[in-house]
Every structure is written in structure tokens, then in C-alpha cells.
Structure 1
Amino acid sequence: MADKLEVTSSYLSAVENGKRNVPKDWVNILINEYSLNADEQRELLQAIEGSKISNKIDMKGYGNEDKTLIMAFARELKDLDESNKMKIREILSNHNKGGSR
């Protein structure tokens, strides 16, 4: 597989063991090399999304207070209980539906 992906076996191992994200360019290679059908492609994309250890957030255009809020949320999310997470989801859902802010 490392040869098909044109990477070293140690890099592939790091991805397999969750130490690195799956590179975006691997998706098409995996789909083509293993002739994945639509269901298998969807499953692959879900697995890749679920395995991410980091994401980049474009903070261009945000003020310092918003950047601080974004980073605080990212740091504290894992410690929030489900009740508080639900409240945040509701706030965001209402905002997206044009509800009160």
C-alpha cells in the first residue's frame, strides 16, 4: 500500500496508528486502486473524517476576541458535559435558521 500511495512505510504506519491525518490526495488513490463502490467510498470518507487528529481553521477576518473564543472552545470542548454541548448546538442551529442570536 505504501508503494501505491508513494510514501514510506513509516509514514503509512503513522497514518494507520492515528499519529497523522489521512492526506487528502489519498482518497482518490484509494478509491481507484481498490475499485470502491459508492457505499464503500462513503464509508471511507466517514472513516477519514472520524480519524482526524487535527483540523485547520481559517481565522482570517476574525477579530482578536473571536479568535480567543474559537481557541477557548476548541480547548474546552472535550471537558463539556452533554447538556452544555446540546445548548451550544441549539444556539448554532437557531442562528443558522435565522433565529435569535
Structure 2
Amino acid sequence: MATEIAKFLRKIRIDSDESLGDMAEKINLSAAYLSAIENNKRTAPEDMKENLYKAYSLSEEQKLEFARLVAESRKKVEIGLSGIQEELFPEYVDTAVMFAHDLSQMNRKQLAEIKDCLQRIKSEAGPM
């Protein structure tokens, strides 16, 4: 049975009329490694997301979906802290650590409230 990542990548390949080898070359992986990712034998390397985004014209929704699939396959989400203003760095780190630690303690209602808040912030900020 195909993984969700496999389905996602296969759709991109079909839409681009490419083989697994073509995609692997475009995103700087071997065909064997890409196949192993699709067959849930390897996890996607962190740079795979950026390489995929650069190689293909993905919508923001597709990027978010792929990031979600990678996070699910790795059982973790990484929070990038590059580009943060030096004087605000401690607050960003504290918030990220607190959020990551407390996420497992939240119920559905609390998660929905946080998700709504983050979506409002994103829509107010506009495209990134």
C-alpha cells in the first residue's frame, strides 16, 4: 500500500510527466533513496522539502501538505530559528520550546484555538 508521501510525490510526477528517476535528480536524491522514502523504509531528509519546492511550482497548500507528511513520517516537526532578530531570539526559543513541550498535553479544543490563532496571524501577515 502506497504511503501518503508516495501518493503526493507520484501526483507531482504524473502532473509533470516525469519518472521517479527524473524527480530524484531534480531534488538531489538517488532514485533508490526516493523509492525508499515512498516505501516507508527511509525518512525524508530535511533538505528534501526545499529542494522539492524549488524544483516544482507548488501552491502554499501543497507545501504545507508536504511539510505535514514529512513531519508525520519523521514523528517530529522542526522549527527554524534563522532570520530572527537577535534581541528577540530568547523569546522565540522560549515560545517554541514551551509550545513543543505542551502540545502533547492539549486537548482538541485547545489545539483548535491555537490553530485558529495561528491562521489569523498568518492571514494578517500576508504571503511570506
Does the aligned pair in 1 maintain the 2:49–2:66 contact within 8 Å?
A: no
Query: How many residues get paired?
Result: 87
User: How much does 1:46 deviate?
Assistant: 5.6
What TM-score, normalized by structure 1, do the two folds share?
0.52
Alignment of 1:58-73 (within 5 A): 58=81, 60-61=84-85, 62-73=88-99
1:19 pairs, out of 40, 43, 47, with 43
1:9 pairs, out of 31, 37, 48, with 31
Rg comparison, structure with higher value = 1
Unaligned runs of 5+ in 2: 1-18, 72-76
Identity %: 16
User: How much does 1:76 deviate?
Assistant: 2.7
Q: Amino acid of the residue matched to residue 49 of structure 2?
A: P
- 1:47-68 Cα shifts (integer Å, max 9, x gaps): 4233132444225222424412
CA-atom RMSD in angstroms: 3.6
More helix by share: 2
**How many Å separate the matches in 2 of 1:46 and 1:26?**
12
Does the aligned pair in 1 maintain the 2:79–2:96 contact within 8 Å?
A: no
Alignment of 1:22-41 (within 5 A): 22-27=48-53, 29=55
Unaligned runs of 5+ in 1: 32-40
What TM-score, normalized by structure 2, do the two folds share?
0.44
Does the aligned pair in 1 maintain the 2:20–2:34 contact within 8 Å?
A: yes
**How many Å separate the matches in 1 of 2:55 and 2:114?**
37
Q: Amino acid of the residue matched to residue 43 of structure 2?
A: K
